[in-house]
Amino acid sequence: MTWNLCSRALCALLLPAALLMPLGNAAQAQVFNPTTFELDNGMQVVVIENRRAPVVTHMVWYKVGAADEPAGKSGIAHYLEHLMFKGTEKRAPGEFSEIIANLGGRENAFTSHDYTGYFQTIAPRHLELMMELEADRMTGLVLTDEIIEPERKVILEERRSRTENNPRALLSEQVAAATYLNHPYRLPVIGWAHEIEGLTRTDLEAFYETWYAPNNAILVVSGDVDPDEVFRLAQKYYGVIPAKELLPRVRPVEPPQLAPREVVMRDARVDQPAWSRRYLAPSYVAGENEYAYPLEVLAEIIGGSSTGRIYRSIVVDQSLAASAGAWYSPGDLDQTTFGLWFSPRPGVSIDSVRDALDDQIATLL
Which of 277, 284, 262 has the alpha carbon at shortest distance from 329?
284
Where would I find the beta strands (DSSP E) of 90-174?
106-111, 116-122
Q: What is the pLDDT of residue 31?
A: 52
Predicted confidence at residue 271, as pLDDT, reads 87
What integer pLDDT is reported at residue 225 of this predicted model? 96
Residue 183 CB coordination number (10 Å) = 19
Sign for the CA dihedral angle at 356, 358, 364, 365 comes to: negative
Choice among 35-49, 220-234, 243-257 with the minimum mean pLDDT: 243-257
pLDDT value of position 304: 81
* Average pLDDT score over the chain: 90
Query: Cα-flanking dihedrals φ and ψ of residue 124, to 5°?
Result: -55, -30
For residue 312, CA distances in Å to 262, 302, 319, 323 come to: 27, 9, 9, 10
Question: pLDDT tens across 329-349, in order?
Answer: 999 999 999 999 999 999 999
Q: Is 81 a catalytic residue?
A: yes
Mean pLDDT of 246-268: 92
Phi, psi of 144 (to 5 degrees): -130, 165
Check residue 16 and give its pLDDT. Answer: 36
Q: What is the mean pLDDT of residues 115-139?
A: 98
From the list 69, 81, 107, 296, the catalytic residue is: 81
